[in-house]
A and B are shown apart, each in its own frame.
Chain A
Amino acid sequence: MESAKLEVKDRTEMGSAASRRFRREGLVPVNLYGLARPPRAMVAGQHELEQLVDRGYHIVELHQEDKTQVVLIQDVQWDPIGSSIVHADFLRIDRDKPVHVYVPIRYIGMAPEVSGSNVEKLLEDIHIETLPLQIPDEFVINLSRLEVGQSITCGDMVMPAGCKLFGHHETDVIVVNHVKHGGGEAAETEGDESVEPEVISKGKGDDEA
């Protein structure tokens, strides 16, 4: 994926009160660090940054007055409702040094025998190590090739050139299980009598002794 552009400005005011002031003005406090150089505190436009993150960009070109530098979006902090970004971390990158990123998995097609199988997607992102300018947009898994009882592990994923899986190769990405018919739903809805739960008594062991 190509890199996106983002305008940033230096910030001198630090702390939670100043950060709240920035957010009220539609700005997000961001930090830039890495490559053994001193960290820098900056602000970026909230709307612009949210658009980049939602579109799945990893690499961003930071424009500051007349300077430009390519960075990796290292971390993004959302508010509790998840509607706006409250803080972001950018990592300085060396084009020849690999970085660690999560790449989303896109599932296409339908698993065969849907009625008799249960497709469990266990992973939505894969953690990989790759060069900053070779980060793939996504990994695609075709479900129509799967059969009941079959699974795909991280090790089965075909990695593009320059990408290396980071983590265990045995971790399941997707599993197609047999569905057990009958029983379940009927047993769950059976009877609605309210039985009081057992109370964990404190000195039970002492009483018995």
Chain B
Amino acid sequence: MDLQTEVLIIGGGATGTGIARDLSLRGIPSLLVEKGDFTSGASGRNQGLLHSGGRYAVNDPDAARECIAENRILRRIAPHCIEPTDGLFVSLPEDGPEYRANFIRACGAAGIDTLPLSPREALAMEPRLSPRIIGAVQVPDGAIDPFTLVVENARDAESRGARILIHTEVTGLIRDGLRIAGVRVRDRITAEAFAIAATWVINATGAWANHILRMAGLQIGLALSKGSMLITNTRLSERVLNRCRPPASGDIIVPNDTVSILGTTSLRAEDPEHYEVTPAEVTFLVDELSRMIPDLKGERFTRAYAGVRPLLQSEGTNDDRTISRGFALIDHGSCSGPAGLVTITGGKLMTYRLMAEKTADFICERMGLHVPCSTHVQRLPGAGHGHTLKDRLLRLRRQTPAAKGEILCDCELVPREAVDAILREGKVRELQDILHRTRLAKGTCQGGFCVYRLLGLLNERSKADHRGGSNRILKGFLEERWKGIRPVLWGRSLKEEELIESIYKGLFNLTPAEPGGPGGGEA
């Protein structure tokens, strides 16, 4: 199978799908390839924070202005992906009143609304805050659901003619003289290899940018910064909580539906694929954020995860917090590289739409087209459908009459019907794809119970197709799950872990190499 397109986009994160959508709205055909599932990189591994721009107001006014502008646009085009929680910038005695005054002034200059609050007012709004606070400032922060955002960008692009191939990895660039004329790819599930011819190849792979560029003998100055985060079992605050001090590690708590996400750290990473959350990072985050929420230590943590930020490198700085969070659009043809290859990287989730706009503007200009961008006004297709717990409960009541509603995941109330519908659609290709598209395994037990049930459903299908069974998928899931929970195993999470190990290693006798017995071995 060989394919052909006008614009080939590499990367199924917010930037790549954003570009596909922008181009599709301008009538330009594109094809997007992603080696994993959507949001496998930093788009799916961030704190889910809809920045007001306050965090950057004092040190990087341009970034702050960009943030607040995109904040307002995203609220308009993707209201269903956003919980408009607002945020507080909280001053502890050690943060001092001076920074707070600067902060309010800088927000004003960047056009970010602020509402100064007394300690008493702030504590009345967020009772779990430390009584030591000396003040707080309210800003229009919020929580954002990046997965829905990305999937909807993709869905909208597809409905306008874009093509998207997930689990499809770029293995090489095709050269035609001084031009890049397309890519060679490999289907990661079927191992089928094929070529895609394209006039333009856009490298929107974020932290993997140099991985693609190396195929053309190119390299850009990109620093990889690992940020680790923790998820609590309950929601700690109604609003986003930030420390009112120069941006540092361990200073943000973002509410996310029924839980909270604590972050982040910033550590130099070498490889965007291989990194882990260390015990020292976990201890640091819990200690540091306990300053804002003193009883944090008694909280149950369900999971830890990390993402890798692609930071554009400038000369002479070693602190990744001071490296610009700005983005760069590089036309390699105009800087002694092959023509037809463009890299868009750096930036952050907040500016994905702007990054897509600039990229599409560039392509239009080169194609000699004059079609303006409309992604800042065109709402995403799912706008109007909510994803909060309340919405899910209402949908559940509507969709599944009590008589036949089987709930697969008791923690997150995922009905069997929801998984059946995804399977019927036929696009998912592995277990993780299903987990990505539902809230299955995202709750307290982190899939300990429901994955057995999900597997039963999948086995029912493979039986219908006369395929054999295997516990390989189950064991693969347990290993993936392990990466997330291992860093937070103490207290109540450890109790749960003993339960899960007792089930899978004890009761079900699953072992690294499964012993024989009648059909007991791996299929």
Question: A and B from one assembly?
Answer: no
Question: B residues near A, CB below 8 A?
Answer: none
Question: A residues near B, CB below 8 A?
Answer: none
